[in-house]
Structure 1
Amino acid sequence: MVTTPALIGLDWGSTSLRAWLVAPDGAVLEERKSDQGASTLSGHGAFVAAFDDVAGAWRAAHAGLPVLACGMVGSTHGWLDVPYVRCPAGAAALAAGLRRPGTGDGAASASSSISASAPYIVPGVLFDDTSLPPDVMRGEETQVVGALHLHGTLGASSCVVLPGTHSKWTQVCGERIVRFATHMTGELYAVLRQHSVLGRLMPDDAPVDPDAFVQGVDAARDHGELGLPHQIFAARSLGVTGRLPHEMLADYLSGLLIGHELRAGLQWRAMAGLGSQPLALVGAPNLCARYQVALHRFERPADLVLDNTAPAGLLALARAAGLLPIDT
């Protein structure tokens, strides 16, 4: 039986673009990828061309199908700078904040006269309680909406962790994102590996070493009070002194950085009295597997591990915006 798609969904990041043809139940019927990320493009025409390149055939075959995009495509260096929605932010608020390039103020409406060459763009989320510096996300909010759509038990109260270049620790309450904290773990690893003295001892072709990763996690868990700036130097000193083979140093550094993120993230939850909340990991399976190993070392394994939930989130937002029938 052939399933009729309900939506074209895009996760348009800074360096890459993923597109899905999404079924009414949120299942992905087809997927396409492109390296035409938002930061590689400039001007309306370039974004239209990239959009048509990845999704043009689908649009031609399924005329009138709604298209939603999340991610950095809605940032200041994207197709359209879509204003952030402030916490607390749920599906209704995000749907109300959808904007579409080429429509004057960009306001989204199922009945308005809109440019056929552009998708609806999902707003990011801003957390700013004035007591600390503000925090922002673009793209992860859609994955959180998708996780809640797929697993309703997370909606009442949960912590959704999204590992990545900029990991997000997100507190959900009453189906809404009420606060979150960003950890630049993945980007910090890449910078240290590629542009610091630490990377000079790390061979590019070293195999994955689970034991070295666990040693790094345990160092953060047991001695994190010494401070990350001090502890990361061990990724060099252990190699210089021969305490760790050079092939193990990259995974040791990865474990150390993720361990510090978990140490801070779990304390962040505990300080708010939320340590008993369900904890869900959402993201690429190989990266979530690393976080699951690290969480076990902290004796707090994840209650749920999910792959990419952006397609389900985009579908839920399309319904909330009235772009799809509720029962589609």
Structure 2
Amino acid sequence: MVTPALIGVDWGSTSLRAFLLDADGSVLQEHAAAKGASTLHGHPAFVAALDEVAGAWRRAQPALPLLACGMVGSQHGWLDVPYVRTAAGAADLAAKLAQPSDTALHIVPGVLCDDGKLPPDVMRGEETQIVGALAQHPQLADSCIVLPGTHSKWTHVAQGAIVRFATHMTGELYAVLRQHSVLGRLMPPEVTPDAQAFLRGVAAARDHGDLGLPHQLFAVRSLGVTAQLPHAALAEYLSGLLIGHELRAGLAWRAAHGLREQPLALVGAAPLCERYQLALGHFGQPAHLVLDNTAPAGLLALARAARLLS
């Protein structure tokens, strides 16, 4: 019989996922709830949400350690856990775990990148995914790891530690433009997959990105108004244009930090990583490795580094 070793929690702004993990990192059970950190207010609400997804496991095995990552540790979460400054490896993160009062829960800190030259950058949750990716694939100890999402992260990892990163608000910008701008008026409510339209947007950013994103965005409307793209394809063109601009900047950032010859990895939800891989291929620089959710592996590695496991 497999023995559980850890309850790991990936607690984002809008969602909550709990994993019952064994000592090898296998997910024995998983529970989820729409109880994101930004939707809850006050200590009792967080306690109740945690009990909803992990209470049965805790009552069955009260000695199991409990570790969470993500926005639960932000200013708008359960407990504001101070950031760890770069360079930050698993040991640095494990040394700064924090606990809400009167709970058994430990929360992973986020990471702050601030060199005093550029505006600061921060991450919460992605650091745990990176730790998990490194635990599963040690060859990424010196690499560029990209985590696509609402706020995509381009991360420079050296000697197993996060040394710098750059955030792109690609996913959020896509949602805002679709829902709250003139560009969305021509788009049907539902998005129809269209790889050709997506890659046309990627190519526009790749080949003519020097025209500037604000200028190129208006083409999403003008292509529809002039019937050069069907209305059903405009959302995919917009997605390609935004991701293309992110890749144009991100790949230049990667080269500027001497990472061109180091592995390039994608970590995140499979459909989104597939989209990024398609776009990277259009740039002639596909990722060497594409990984699904690595948060459970990261939580286990951090629990082990913090000596929470029996």
- Fold-level similarity (TM above 0.5): yes
- Residue among 218, 225, 242 paired with 1:240: 225
Change (3 A) 1:269 1:206: closer
How far is 1:227 from its partner? Answer: 0.5
Query: Is 2:281 the partner of 1:282?
Result: no
- Residue among 115, 124, 141 paired with 1:129: 115
CA contact (8 A) 1:98 1:120 kept: yes
Could you list the per-position Cα deviations for residues 71-119 of structure 1 after superposition, in whole angstroms to 9, with x for gaps in the alignment? Answer: 00000010000000000000000001100000xxxxxxxxxxxx3x341
CA contact (8 A) 2:65 2:104 kept: no
Q: How does the TM-score come out when normalised to structure 2?
A: 0.99
Could you list the per-position Cα deviations for residues 204-241 of structure 1 after superposition, in whole angstroms to 9, with x for gaps in the alignment? Answer: 12421111000000000000000001111111110000
Once the two structures are superposed, the pairs formed by residues 47-196 of structure 1 within 5 Å of their partners are 47-102=46-101, 115=102, 117-155=103-141, 157-196=142-181
Q: Which amino acid aligns with 1:48?
A: V
CA separation in 1, counterparts of 2:154 and 2:308? 30
> Unmatched 5+ residue regions in structure 1?
103-114
CA separation in 2, counterparts of 1:86 and 1:205? 41
CA contact (8 A) 1:201 1:246 kept: yes
CA contact (8 A) 2:191 2:236 kept: no
How far is 1:324 from its partner? Answer: 1.4
CA contact (8 A) 2:153 2:165 kept: yes
CA contact (8 A) 1:207 1:247 kept: yes
SS in 2 for 1:6: strand
SS in 1 for 2:297: helix
Partner of 2:294: 309
What RMSD in Å do the two structures reach over aligned CA positions? 0.8
Could you list the per-position Cα deviations for residues 155-184 of structure 1 after superposition, in whole angstroms to 9, with x for gaps in the alignment? Answer: 1x1000000000000000011000000000
How far is 1:274 from its partner? Answer: 1.6
SS in 1 for 2:308: coil
Q: Which amino acid aligns with 2:94?
A: A
Worse-superposed segment, 206-215 or 285-294 = 206-215
Change (3 A) 1:229 1:118: farther
CA separation in 2, counterparts of 1:90 and 1:302? 23
CA separation in 1, counterparts of 2:218 and 2:24? 49
CA separation in 2, counterparts of 1:61 and 1:178? 40
SS in 2 for 1:281: strand
Q: Which amino acid aligns with 2:4?
A: P
Could you list the per-position Cα deviations for residues 125-145 of structure 1 after superposition, in whole angstroms to 9, with x for gaps in the alignment? Answer: 000001100000000000000
Q: Which amino acid aligns with 1:22?
A: L
CA separation in 2, counterparts of 1:313 and 1:205? 35
CA separation in 1, counterparts of 2:191 and 2:62? 49
Alignment: residue pair count: 310
Q: How does the TM-score come out when normalised to structure 1?
A: 0.93
CA separation in 2, counterparts of 1:195 and 1:4? 49
Q: Which amino acid aligns with 1:54?
A: V
Query: Is 2:196 the partner of 1:211?
Result: yes
Could you list the per-position Cα deviations for residues 230-287 of structure 1 after superposition, in whole angstroms to 9, with x for gaps in the alignment? Answer: 1111111100000000000000000000000000000001112221110000000000
